[in-house]
Amino acid sequence: MSQAISKLIEQYRCTKDNDLKYMLLRRDFEIKDIEEELLPLINDLLLPILVEEQDMEILNLVSFQVFPNVVLCMINNSIPSQLKWLTSLVWNPLLDQSMVHADRSFVLIETLRNILQKIEKASPQGYRQPVTHSLEFISKFIVEMKRHMCEIDAAQLSHSLSESNMLIYIESLDLLLKLNLFSDATCPPSMAKLPFSILNDVFTIAQDYSATNTNESIDKITEKLFLTSTQLAHPMDLEKLCLKINYSTLSVISRIWYKFGPIVNGLFADRLLPIISSSAIVEECSVEEILEIIYNFHPYFSIRRLKDNSPLLSESTINQLREGLFSMLSGLNDSLKREQNERLHSDSQSVDDDDGIVSDNDPEQQAYLEELISDDYDENMYNSDTDNENADGSNLEGNDEPTKDSIETNKILSIFAELHYPQEERFSELLTELQAKITISSSFIDKILSQEAIALSTCGGEIADLNEILNEVKSNKLTRKNAIFHTLTHTLSLQSCSELADLQLSVEVIDHLLVKNHSNNINRDEQFQLIKLILPHLKTNKSFIDTLKAGNYTQKIDEGVTLRTMILSLLLQLLPLDYSMLGEILPTISRYSVRDKDLTVRDLSLQLLNQILSIYYNYLIGIDWDWYNNNFYQVLQENCTKKDIDTNILQKYPPYFP
């Protein structure tokens, strides 16, 4: 034991003055050695305080500050790959002591939670620990968690006390899973996997707790545990879990939608469509939960896969979904219409009713009242000094909280905004009726009713001068759009064998069209059309390589580097690109640009891939996992290996095999 630690422990034990104890613990601890400093400090001072100390200020100081700071200090002074001591010296002792000292279990588990929170906020880089070693403690923690739940039930504690007790365990478990399975730099979160036995226990505990707590919905802490566990679940394990989880849980874990790809068609067929189609919500779920689940799964029907240009959900499933949601929307429209009629009838009745002052049989008084109403009499005129937002009665809903029907209507419309409902007259009519009754987001309406952009045909037309075109687009003129597209298509075609200067001029024109001047005038299909024209020129063109000879000295100069740099820089400026464009872009970059001999081109290509994958990786592994592996990842891996390219992309965004 080091002299400093030994002296501290002796001073603490020798005094009964709580203020002095507090001051001793407030010292900064610089812990560098496990055996000489950390071990005696924990076993001879910190743990005894947690199980024996009566002073709450000292107890909280150790639990929330001293113990977490000591552990973090030791982590920062340790080699990242040698952190096994966390389990043996910190996690296990705290859990063991909580089992021995039942009256202090809350404080001890809370301390464990506080340490985990401290580590998570500090985010130490390169933390690694053998997964099997971590899973052993997690399993042990879950067993103790179950035992604690039984004790709480047997003790018949108040709801608030039992909830706070369990939430500490739930939050600790969530942080343990994140720390031990998400922090391993060699295995990204998407690849980490929990054994089904642990996963099943986690879902059972969290769902049982949620069913007994006092909140109507799942609390945020339990939500985090559900989400973390889902990220660590294999789709086949999720399929087994889905047989027992309720709709409230499914509405939460469906936010990790990309884990459900292989099972989503079955999930719609077995658990969602029967309820939507029958319009009969069963007791164990609510309309809001069903709609939330469907919306969370919207990438499966709103995005077309790269490999076959079709959604992952089957066509028949999508058609049933459309019809079921349209039926629900029609029912909500009828309900809103009844509410509107009842409101109008109630308003009319209140005018006609005798309020004790005006008699129905007094024509003069009745005429006076009707005159006041017709003149938009402000019943709150005596409260004019206050900000009364209800003065305007033109909105049928007034400014009250949105009704259940209006909330459900907007949720269904948010799904239709992703579902691309066919442009049928009955749907437009229904939208018009709904807009007259409730407030609907204009973005929903625009997205639902907007037609798919049609690709611009560039067949035929004149070939214009590129310099003239460039001057036009620079001056914000786009009067010859067809001619511009036809000229660019002709010039950038590989068959045209255009001069390098013309190709560079064409890319500059496209840069102005898509980025600088006219991006609002170019639709998605036109953007994609222009991108497909420039992608082939990322391949090194041997005709642009000049060979200089001076005696026995030969040097090759690639004049096409500037062109390839311009194209990659343009693509970087266009991010985030539409998902449909990745089918052309990713294979081209991985096949040609990453193996380019020019380091600037290579660096730009890796930067572009990194940014695209940071945006779309979950979509690629959630919808196009086969395409991602076969058409992109393997090509990239082969080229990086051949050219000895140093990049973390392969490790950071591995293929997914559900």
CB 190 within 8 A of CB 656: yes
Residue 125 confidence (pLDDT)? 52
CB 461 within 8 A of CB 486: yes
Answer whether residue 625 shows pLDDT above 50. yes
What is the mean predicted confidence (pLDDT) over 499-508?
A: 96
Instruction: Report pLDDT digits (tens) over 280-298.
Output: 555 567 889 999 999 999 9
Residue 188 confidence (pLDDT)? 60
Answer whether residue 161 shows pLDDT above 70. no
Residue 445 confidence (pLDDT)? 76
Query: Considering the chain, what percentage of its residues have pLDDT values greater than 90?
Result: 55
DSSP string, 502-551: HHHHHHHHHHIIIIIS-GGGS-HHHHHHHHHHHGGGGS--GGGEEEEEET
Residue 379 confidence (pLDDT)? 42
Residue 555 confidence (pLDDT)? 86
Structure-model confidence comparison of residues 459 and 318, the more confident one: 318
Instruction: Report pLDDT digits (tens) over 528-582.
Output: 999 999 999 999 999 999 988 877 888 889 999 999 999 999 999 999 999 999 9
Res. 427 pLDDT band, cuts 50 70 90? confident
CB 287 within 8 A of CB 324: no
CB 167 within 8 A of CB 219: yes
Instruction: Report pLDDT digits (tens) over 433-474.
Output: 888 888 887 777 777 776 444 444 445 568 899 999 999 888
Span of 160-169, 419-428, 527-536, 543-552 with lowest mean pLDDT = 419-428
What is the mean predicted confidence (pLDDT) over 495-504?
A: 92
**Cα 496 from Cα 489, distance rounded (Å):** 10
CB 444 within 8 A of CB 414: yes
What is the mean predicted confidence (pLDDT) over 506-516?
A: 92
Res. 393 pLDDT band, cuts 50 70 90? very low
Answer whether residue 605 shows pLDDT above 70. yes
Most confident option among 373-377, 470-474, 503-507: 503-507
Answer whether residue 168 shows pLDDT above 60. yes
CB 272 within 8 A of CB 232: no
- In angstroms, what CA-CA distances link 256 with 230, 249, 594, 620? 7, 12, 31, 14
Instruction: Report pLDDT digits (tens) over 200-226.
Output: 999 999 998 888 776 667 889 999 999
**Cα 614 from Cα 608, distance rounded (Å):** 10
Residue 640 confidence (pLDDT)? 95
Structure-model confidence comparison of residues 32 and 649, the more confident one: 649
Res. 399 pLDDT band, cuts 50 70 90? very low
Residue 11 confidence (pLDDT)? 94
Instruction: Report pLDDT digits (tens) over 85-108.
Output: 889 999 999 999 999 998 899 999
Structure-model confidence comparison of residues 537 and 148, the more confident one: 537
What is the mean predicted confidence (pLDDT) over 228-238?
A: 93
Structure-model confidence comparison of residues 424 and 105, the more confident one: 105
Span of 316-330, 349-363, 433-447, 455-469 with lowest mean pLDDT = 349-363
Residue 372 confidence (pLDDT)? 45
Residue 200 confidence (pLDDT)? 96
What is the mean predicted confidence (pLDDT) over 104-127?
A: 86
User: What type of residue is 317?
Assistant: T
**Cα 521 from Cα 276, distance rounded (Å):** 40
DSSP string, 256-295: SGGG-GGGHHHHIIIIIHHHHHHT---TT--HHHHHHHHH
The whole model's pTM is what?
0.84
Angle, CA 601 vertex, CA 616 and CA 517 arms, to 5°: 70
Res. 381 pLDDT band, cuts 50 70 90? very low
The packing angle between helices 524-534 and 582-591, to 10°, is 20
Span of 55-64, 428-437, 485-494, 559-568 with lowest mean pLDDT = 428-437
DSSP letter (8 states) at residue 117: H
What is the mean predicted confidence (pLDDT) over 114-135?
A: 74
Would you state the structure tokens that stand for residue 287, as one six-digit string?
Answer: 């309309």
Query: Considering the chain, what percentage of its residues have pLDDT values greater than 70?
Result: 82
What is the mean predicted confidence (pLDDT) over 135-152?
A: 90
3-state secondary structure of 613: helix
CB 470 within 8 A of CB 478: no
CB 46 within 8 A of CB 62: yes
When the pLDDT of each residue in the chain is averaged and rounded to a whole number, the result is 85
Residue 391 confidence (pLDDT)? 38
